[in-house]
Amino acid sequence: MKRLALDELNLEAQPGAFAGTLMNSSRDLVARVCQGDQEAFRLIFDRYSRPVIGFIYDMVGDRDLAEELTQETFVRAYRGIRGMNAETKLSTWLFGIARNVARESLRARVRANRHVDLEDKSVLDLSDNEPVPVERLLSKELNDLIRRSLATLDEDKRVVFTLKVFHHCSYEEIADITGFSLAKLKSDLHRARAEMRRRIKPYAGVGYEV
């Protein structure tokens, strides 16, 4: 069926097939960037810019700032790619840089006393709301609720929760990205889930049968 159709189109099996498209594994791309291939870095950017900007946005809660920090992340990645450990996954390495960039920005904001999002009173009041069936909750409202609830988590919990729940990283990858011990990240993840549950619970109550 579909698999047969795929096999017919498998370029690897075709004589004279162009090898270029087969050389795009992340490891190959990194090797090419190290040789000065700007196009390879463009491919890395195309592949990873979306998850990276999403992760940074989850961390800082600001669209414009997320774009700016994503740019900074990729510039740092380009400059440091030769020092990248060959055993490290490219995605883990990029998330590590993104996390550092986001953390520096958050700390700068705290110093500047502009961490308004983290003290958004409307988020804190959510748990007192009357239950609303999730079916009636527009996806935009749910997105908004999750975003604001994320902002109430402290930084360590937020990074662990985001990497696990939204980016589906393994515990090992999260430990590599954050430098946390396994015990700490498990504890943070559990607490983050509990806090998020408390925020979301009013919306998941009535009418949301499993």
Q: Is 87 in the site for other proteins (CB under 8 A)?
A: no
Q: Is 83 in the site for other proteins (CB under 8 A)?
A: no
Stretch 112-131 residues interacting with other proteins (CB under 8 A): none
Stretch 14-43 residues interacting with other proteins (CB under 8 A): 16-18, 20-22, 24-27, 33-36, 38, 41-42
Q: Which of 59, 60, 92, 97 binds other proteins (CB under 8 A)?
A: 92
Q: Is 9 in the site for other proteins (CB under 8 A)?
A: yes
Stretch 147-166 residues interacting with other proteins (CB under 8 A): 147, 164-166
The residue (of 112 and 183) whose beta carbon lies closer to other proteins is 183
Query: How many Å apart are CA 186 and CA 194, to the nearest integer?
Result: 12
Question: Using CB under 8 A as the criterion, what x/- string covers residues 36-75 for binding other proteins?
Answer: x-x--xx--xxxxxxx-xx--xx----x--xx--xx--xx
For residues 11 and 22, the answer to whether their CB atoms sit within 8 Å is: yes
